[in-house]
């Protein structure tokens, strides 16, 4: 990953890029290696199941992981579409990065230039503003190119949301739910087998 920072209408923003043989595109680091610590009751059930059939824990963790990863990518693709950012792709070994092919480094640089190119209020470029204030207007620099500004805002928002969502409590809650599903189903089945 390469981190680049740009000054956009006076505000510093950071955009990460993933670089490989096919080029450089805006990307986020979405590696997540943590498995959830299960609530006590579930952890005990899993322990008993594991004692009866070794390998159960690993199998459930694998399933929970795959299922969470699949639904995360579905969410990310939908969110990118919603923000009009085009298709998402996974990069890196084990898909640890999410990349947006429509955003090469050159394109992002071009959008930044577009945003700083002219003010909606005074028509001057950002560089002609002192501390972002318009020269003859009681306003601040406002990009005339609203579309470029929106695209850039959506891009940084999307990458931030992606990175936060794999580290936040939501990711852990999803994995816990998945584990719960497999453990409870297996537990139910064992109980019924014993009753017979
Ligand atoms: Zn201005």
Residue 182 tokens, joined? 């497999």
Distance from residue 147's CA to the centre of ligand 1 (Å): 17
Which comes out higher in pLDDT, residue 63 or 169?
Answer: 63
Q: How much is the mean pLDDT over the chain?
A: 93
Q: Which region holds residue 95: left if phi is over 0, alpha if psi is between -120 and 50, else beta?
A: left
pLDDT digits (tens, 9 = 90+) for 35-84: 778 999 999 999 999 999 999 999 999 999 999 899 999 999 999 999 99
Q: What is the pTM of this model?
A: 0.86
Distance from residue 14's CA to the centre of ligand 1 (Å): 24
- Annotate 84-152 with DSSP letters as a single string: T---EEEESGGG-EEEEEEEEHHHHHHHHHHHHS-BTTT---GGGSBTTB-SSSSSB--BS-HHHHHHH
In this predicted structure, what is the pLDDT of residue 170? 82
Q: CB-based contacts of 182: which residues, under 8 Å, 6+ apart?
A: 60, 63, 64
Q: What is the residue extent of each domain of the chain?
A: 35-85+105-195
Instruction: Tell me the residues surrounding ligand 1 (ion) with CB < 5 Å.
Output: 119, 121-122, 134, 141
**Residue 94 clears pLDDT 80, i.e. is over it:** no
In this predicted structure, what is the pLDDT of residue 48? 96
Distance from residue 134's CA to the centre of ligand 1 (Å): 4
Segment 3-10 shows an average pLDDT of 93
**Residue 90 clears pLDDT 80, i.e. is over it:** yes
């Amino acid at each position: 990953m390469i981190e680049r920072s740009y000054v956009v209408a006076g505000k510093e923003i950071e955009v990460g890029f993933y670089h490989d043989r096919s080029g450089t595109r805006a990307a986020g680091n979405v590696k997540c290696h943590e498995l959830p610590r299960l609530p006590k009751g579930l952890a005990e059930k899993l322990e008993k199941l594991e004692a009866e059939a070794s390998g159960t824990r690993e199998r459930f963790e694998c399933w929970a992981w795959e299922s969470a990863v699949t639904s995360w990518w579905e969410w990310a693709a939908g969110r990118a579409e919603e923000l009009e950012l085009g298709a998402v792709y996974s990069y890196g070994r084990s898909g640890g990065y999410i990349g947006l092919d429509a955003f090469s480094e050159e394109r992002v640089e071009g959008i930044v230039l577009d945003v700083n190119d002219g003010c909606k209020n005074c028509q001057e470029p950002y560089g002609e503003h002192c501390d972002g204030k318009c020269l003859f207007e009681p306003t601040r620099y406002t990009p005339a190119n609203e579309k470029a500004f929106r695209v850039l805002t959506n891009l940084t928002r999307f990458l931030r949301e992606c990175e936060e969502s794999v580290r936040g409590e939501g990711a852990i809650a999803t994995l816990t739910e998945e584990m719960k599903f497999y453990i409870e189903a297996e537990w139910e089945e064992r109980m019924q087998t014993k009753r017979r």
